[in-house]
Amino acid sequence: MDDHGFRAARRIIEILRAAGHQAWIIGGAVRDLLIGTMPPDWDVATSAHPADVQALFHRTIPVGVQFGVVRVRLMGAEVEVATFRADLGYSDGRRPDAVRFTDLREDVLRRDFTINGLALDPGNGEVVDLVEGIADLRAGRIRAIGNADARFAEDLLRPLRAVRLAARTGFSIESGTWEAVRRAAGSVAVVSVERIAEELKKTLLSSRPGLGWSLLADSGILEAVLPEVAGGPSVAQVSSALDASVGSDAETMWANVLWPIGPAGSAGTLRRLKYSNHFIRDTSETIRLGQAASRFPIEDRAAAKKLLREARAAAGLAVLAVWRQVEGLDDRPVREAREFLLGLGPEDLWPLRLLTGDDVLAAGIPRGKGVSEALCALEDAQLRGEVTTTEAAKAFVCRWSAKMPESG
Ligand code: ATP
Ligand code: MG
């Protein structure tokens, strides 16, 4: 195992233990290591209190000291070091009201699923399994720790986490846990929209997004969090589109999901989910460009080039390609667009500007929006290959000014 995170976590645990504390790699990182995939983040659980952790390491970030969580930076990695804790009371199904520091056993029991409840000693490879997590891991099974209904009522994000975990591992959700997911589905919207949005994004970025999507639909979670795309024949289509797009960025995955409702609808949905403006723009732009590209072959070369030179054009074409296939349509527009693009260099898509605003004024166009309109028309003419020299550009603008209505 050659990974900064693992080596940092092992060293942190050595240091904590040398100071007389207990410490383990815990949770998702252990699950991933046992499955044989690289954990995206590393968590250490310890008997040390936050003040002890801060005293033992030079570089710490107190991300949630009241919950016992300190980030430690070591050997080029960042590891979350959290004091063994029990969550005290969930009054709102969103977050624990408070925590109490405790032992490994209780810390494991507060966790969501058995395969997320394993602790590993990185020194000797010993795994502590207090919840039969190993058996579930071997069986490929996602099972809640304790009573699933009660655990979901505490934190209604957990049903979404169950689905994401399935999409990530390919494991099946054990039947009792699955029934509880379905019973809780109608209530998951009490969770903050930011947490839901993050979980959905991670599900879409997993290696089995189509499975994730159909589980969201089958459980009823989709109806609760994304009513505008829940139900109907498009669920199976979205699943196929997502599976055909694995490895794409999050904007492209969301564009696949929201393709049926178009760019305007998608922007509204993503705004409700409180994604960043940048993210919303790139996603709805991907859909808009994909839809526009479905008109290929486009006769006007200027319009065709302006479409394909957009930053999200390749993503838009990818989504269009996937959806044409999902809907059983031929791939002609995508082929035509890609062929058109093939022979074009950057200078064809972004021709050099031949005139300045002053040149345009000199040609007799009055100050105001007429100037930028003339420059736009000139660029279109360049994109069509009708104008290639400064001389021709001047002549073009003179003709343009002659055509202009009297008061611009
Ligand atoms: P990933 O890192 O791939 O997102 P993960 O399971 O590691 O998945 P994290 O958010 O990193 O998820 O959480 C680390 C661990 O903390 C989990 O494995 C689980 O043991 C526990 N945990 C996280 N969120 C919850 C929750 N909402 N309820 C109970 N336990 C949780
Ligand atoms: Mg994790």
pLDDT in tens, 83-123: 999 988 777 777 777 889 999 999 999 999 999 999 999 99
Instruction: Tell me: do 134 and 144 sit in the same domain.
Output: no
Mutation choice for ligand 1 from 44, 81, 109, 111, CB with most ligand atoms inside 8 A: 111
Q: For residue range 39-80, what is the model confidence (pLDDT) as tens digits? A: 999 999 999 999 999 999 999 999 988 899 999 999 999 999
Closest residue CA from atom 21 of ligand 1: 111
Closest by CA to 253, choosing from 221, 224, 275, is 275
- CA 190 to mean position of chain CA atoms: 21
Instruction: Tell me: do 10 and 124 sit in the same domain.
Output: yes
Instruction: Tell me: do 116 and 9 sit in the same domain.
Output: yes
Instruction: Report how many domains make up the chain.
Output: 4
Question: What is the rounded end-to-end Cα distance, in angstroms, of the chain?
Answer: 70
Instruction: Tell me: do 128 and 206 sit in the same domain.
Output: no
CA distance readout (Å), 190 to 77, 152, 228, 237, 274: 35, 12, 18, 28, 15
Q: What is the mean pLDDT of residues 226-244?
A: 91
Residue 227 preceded by cis peptide, ω within 30:
no
Residue after which a domain boundary falls, among 349, 364, 394: 349
Contact 334, 325 (CB under 8 A): no
Instruction: Tell me: do 193 and 175 sit in the same domain.
Output: yes
Q: What is the predicted pLDDT for the residue at 405? A: 64
Q: What is the predicted pLDDT for the residue at 1? A: 53
CATH number for the domain including 67?
A: 3.30.460.10
Closest by CA to 138, choosing from 272, 13, 34, 284, is 34
Q: How many CB atoms lie within 10 A of CB 1?
A: 9
Instruction: Tell me: do 2 and 135 sit in the same domain.
Output: yes
Q: Is the pLDDT of residue 185 over 90?
A: yes
Pair of tokens at residue 308: 């394909």
Closest residue CA from atom 16 of ligand 1: 27
3-state SS class at 46: strand
Residue after which a domain boundary falls, among 98, 121, 139: 139
Closest residue CA from atom 22 of ligand 1: 111
Q: Is the pTM of this model over 0.75?
A: yes
Q: For residue range 347-372, what is the model confidence (pLDDT) as tens digits? A: 999 999 999 989 999 888 888 888 99
Q: How far is the CA of 352 from the centre of ligand 2 (A)?
A: 49
Instruction: Tell me: do 167 and 205 sit in the same domain.
Output: yes
Ligand 1 site, CB within 6 A: 27-28, 40-41, 43, 111-112, 116, 155, 157-158, 161
Closest residue CA from atom 28 of ligand 1: 112
Residue after which a domain boundary falls, among 225, 257, 277: 225
CATH number for the domain including 185?
A: 1.10.110.30
How far is it, in rounded angstroms, from Cα 92 to Cα 94? 5
Per the structure, the complete domain to which residue 109 belongs is given by 1-139
Instruction: Tell me: do 123 and 169 sit in the same domain.
Output: no
Q: What is the predicted pLDDT for the residue at 394? A: 94
Length of the chain: 408
Instruction: Tell me: do 293 and 380 sit in the same domain.
Output: no
How far is it, in rounded angstroms, from Cα 253 to Cα 208? 12
Instruction: Tell me: do 342 and 355 sit in the same domain.
Output: no
Could you tell me whether strands 43-46 and 77-83 are parallel, antiparallel, or unpaired per DSSP bridges?
A: parallel
Ligand nearest to the CA of 94: 1
- Asked if residue 371 belongs to a domain, the reply is yes
Ligand nearest to the CA of 45: 1
- Asked if residue 408 belongs to a domain, the reply is no
Q: What is the predicted pLDDT for the residue at 251? A: 98
Question: Mean pLDDT lowest for which of 2-6, 276-280, 344-348?
Answer: 2-6
List, in order, residues 6 or more apart from 197 with CB less than 8 Å away.
Answer: 273, 274, 275
